Chain A
Amino acid sequence: MSEDRIGVFICHCGTNIAGTVNCPRVTEAIARTDVALVREHAYLCTGGQAQIVSDIQEYGLDRIVVAACSPRIHDETFRTVCKAAGINPYMMEMVNIREQCSWCHMYQPDDATRKSIDLVLMGIENVKLNQPLTPIEVLMTKRALVIGGGISGIEASLQLADLGHKVILVERSPTIGGKMAQLNKIFPDQNCSP
């Protein structure tokens, strides 16, 4: 028995996943490993969030695997769920059994199911080695440096200054204005140089 308390959550995504992948078979296979909990849900990203929170608390899970859609869509969602349940948001790994499994092997349900099991097993091995992480926090000096006093530097400085921010504008020549100041008129409306 592993010391980790891993929970595995398998999303049906309605029929998007469950229509191709035999989810009960995945659950059955994963339940044979040393994870603390395997749970299926119709929609983990919506109604399932509360279920994950209560399971983490009830089963004392310290890390979870969410087998659902792409982490590019819902990584943040499930990190937030972890945070809500009181575990480190980085103790979560997503396994993509929708975009990279059910949707691209629609006519091979058995193979898709076998692949889903493999992918979840990979996710479990991965999450076992995850470390709790804290976002790096740095102090913000609320002063901007603008290098160059041409039209771009002038405009950027004024915008920031008007928003109430402190700006240091550095210009190499004796005056601001840059190349713009040398122009007689500017296109397309032949206005004077600003």
Chain B
Amino acid sequence: MVDVGRHPNIELLTLSEVVEVNGYLGNFEVTLRKHPRYVTEDCTFCGDCLERCHIFTEDEFNENRALRKAIYTPFLQSVPRQYVIDDKVCIHFSEEACQRCVEDCKKHAIDFSQVVEEETVHVGTIIAATGIKPYDPTGLYGYGDSRFPDVITSMELERMMSPEGPTKGEIIRPSTGQAPSSVAFIQCVGSRSEKEGQLAYCSKLCCPNTVKNTLLLKERFPELETYVFHNGIRTSGKRQERMFREARKDGVVFVNSFPKITQGQVLTFFDPLVDQQLLMRKDFDLVVLAIGIVPTSKEMSQLLGVPLDKRGFIKEENQLSPTSTPTNGIYFAGAVGSPSDIKQCIEQAGNAAMQVSKHFQRDTAELSPIIARVDLEECTGCGKCSKECLFGAIRIQDKVAVITEAACRGCGNCVNSCEFDAISISNYDEKQLKAQLKAALQEPEDKIIVFACHWCSYAGADFAGTSRLQYSPNVRIIRTMCSCGVTADLVRYTFALGAPKVIVSGCHPGDCHYLDNNMFTKKRVMKLKEGLVSKGINPERLMLEWVSASEGQRFVETVQKMEQLRVDEDEIKMTKMIFSEPGKRKSRKRVQK
């Protein structure tokens, strides 16, 4: 921590937050809001001001289990080593206009004239590392209820056990101030629960953290009765199982059951396997709730325009790039991405730093030119493409769509949204896909057209070949970057050429290489299938199937399934006729007339 404060390459801005991010890889404009500290760098940390200040408030660093003054330092090793004035409680800002700390500061380091400032910085890359906040267990197991003052959180226990904490490291019952003779830990508080307001995931840190604390307690108080109520202890990390074994040897009792708490802090616990049969009632002096962790990612997601996963953590670009977001140049590290312990945070930070460092090896960055291009003649500036782009790569400027080239990933989702044929993907132009179709369907009779995305389904078909899996030679594969690049127009065109069967294939939901763009594909195909039904065409002739790069077998099964479908000539003729009618695509020139 101290190294950060004194490193010549690090500009540390505390009391600061990011309010706006614009730009792209190599060129991000970031607006920062800096809140006043009211104490300048001349502060020598002598502490005279602290003695003079007479305003107390709750100390959030000690989980509000202690008091601090209005001028304070969160903890003794704080970096930077300067005091800070809490302007929400300091009475200088009230009618009293107190000046006591100013009077005693020999260095004249207190400056009440400081105000909130905004600053814009220019950076090439961004690493989001905003971490987590602890789950608030109020209402669970009597926490926050005055009848149960001796129910505390694991974070409160951490502070209590710290020599710098509110009790100077003494373990006490908050109700009496006396040492407890028994303690119960309750695991999964807020975690692994489908209940409203709770966390469906495993917070991962709570099991090893509780085991750690039982070991520390047993070391100091071998006679302390220590119970852990859990739903399966998860200690799969390095050296964690050994820790768990040691705790059991030390006499910690692990009970695979969740207890109920009743008046007098009696825990009753049941055997979940034997029809909730009461196993035991026991009185505990202190109950510690192993609280889960909640990501702070929502705000980051909005600021940086990066997606979240279902749990609310930042979503990685794909599982093999664990610290990359889908936005070029934006990375993340630590628990903002998934529950991570200290060691994992450090590993991820190293990985993110390496990604950033790679960019800094060159003066420029080279990005793929296979991206969206706008035909300025045709574009009406309607803005539909801009709304559909999950990468925020399209903006409307002077009544035409403008692509931020460095932000565009070339998925092709915008192509479908354009009613004017004004947007296309370089070298994956719809005209090119149609030209391929035309060549493939010279003799359409029994052909199966498969649209396969580059990343998963095309690779899955490759894997089928590599594995020498055999399937019918009437399959014709057309590669797109993403399945979302298969427009409704393209599918209709395929049928118009007389294709009996069409398969649209992409990555599995959640695996898409372009955020969740394959969900657009799903929506589109479902709508097309409804269209087929309304026209009296068998909707099974259009199939949507997710095939991953490792699913060669699944690819073969998919085409074999389609092979089984019988489509008679009359039906193909009818389909051809229906879809050969001019499409609904508009031309800007026609609209203007």
Q: Name A's B-contacting residues (CB within 8 A).
A: 70-72, 90, 96, 98-101, 103-108, 111-112, 114-115, 118-119, 121-126, 128-131, 133-190, 193-194
Q: Which residues of the partner chain B approach A125 to less than 8 Å between Cβ atoms?
A: 432, 435-436, 438-439
B359 at the interface (CB under 8 A from A): yes
A140 CA to B128 CA in the complex, in Å?
19
Which of A106, A118, A175, A180 is close to B79, meaning CB atoms less than 8 Å apart?
Answer: A175
Query: Secondary structure of the B side of the interface?
Result: mixed
Which of B10, B125, B370 is close to A157, meaning CB atoms less than 8 Å apart?
Answer: B10
Nearest CB of A to B14, in Å? 5
B350 to A159, Cβ gap below 8 A? yes
B124 to A141, Cβ gap below 8 A? yes
B576 at the interface (CB under 8 A from A): no
Q: Besides the contacts A136-B366, A161-B8, A187-B341, what 8 more A-B pairs have beta carbons closer than 8 Å?
A: A96-B477, A140-B365, A151-B345, A152-B352, A176-B14, A179-B131, A187-B240, A189-B239
Chain B interface bracket (under 10, 10 to 19, 20 to 34, 35 or more): 35 or more
A166 CA to B360 CA in the complex, in Å?
10
Interface centre among A103, A139, A140, A174 (most CB of B within 10 A): A174
Q: Which residues of the partner chain B approach A164 to less than 8 Å between Cβ atoms?
A: 9
Q: Mark B73-84, 1 if CB is under 8 A from A, else 0.
A: 111011110001
Which of B356, B357, B462 is close to A96, meaning CB atoms less than 8 Å apart?
Answer: B462
Which of A129, A135, A152, A163 is close to B129, meaning CB atoms less than 8 Å apart?
Answer: A152
Provide a sorted-by-A list of 12 A–B residue pairs whose CB atoms are within 8 angstroms: A72-B459, A136-B369, A136-B371, A138-B367, A138-B406, A147-B129, A148-B128, A148-B334, A174-B84, A176-B79, A183-B342, A188-B208
Which of A163, A172, A187 is close to B211, meaning CB atoms less than 8 Å apart?
Answer: A187
A152 CA to B331 CA in the complex, in Å?
12
A188 to B26, Cβ gap below 8 A? no
Known pairs A140-B26, A172-B15; A177 contacts B369 (CB<8 A)? no
B212 to A187, Cβ gap below 8 A? yes
B209 to A187, Cβ gap below 8 A? yes
Which of B9, B24, B354 is close to A167, meaning CB atoms less than 8 Å apart?
Answer: B9
Q: Which residues of the partner chain A approach B211 to less than 8 Å between Cβ atoms?
A: 187
A140 CA to B80 CA in the complex, in Å?
30
A100 to B1, Cβ gap below 8 A? no
B363 to A139, Cβ gap below 8 A? yes
A111 CA to B473 CA in the complex, in Å?
6
B212 to A147, Cβ gap below 8 A? no
Q: Which residues of the partner chain B approach A162 to less than 8 Å between Cβ atoms?
A: 7, 9
Query: Secondary structure of the A side of the interface?
Result: mixed
Q: Which residues of the partner chain B approach A180 to less than 8 Å between Cβ atoms?
A: 342, 345
Which of B8, B125, B131, B238 is close to A178, meaning CB atoms less than 8 Å apart?
Answer: B131
Q: Mark B405-442, 1 if CB is under 8 A from A, else 0.
A: 11000000000000000000011010110011011101
Nearest CB of A to B546, in Å? 18
A184 to B158, Cβ gap below 8 A? yes
B479 at the interface (CB under 8 A from A): yes
Known pairs A165-B356, A182-B158, A194-B342; A170 contacts B406 (CB<8 A)? no
B4 to A154, Cβ gap below 8 A? yes
Interface centre among A112, A142, A164 (most CB of B within 10 A): A142
Known pairs A72-B458, A138-B25, A165-B357; A144 contacts B126 (CB<8 A)? yes
The chain A residue sitting closest to B82, CB to CB, is A174
Interface centre among A72, A147, A168 (most CB of B within 10 A): A147
Which of B10, B335, B369, B479 is close to A152, meaning CB atoms less than 8 Å apart?
Answer: B335
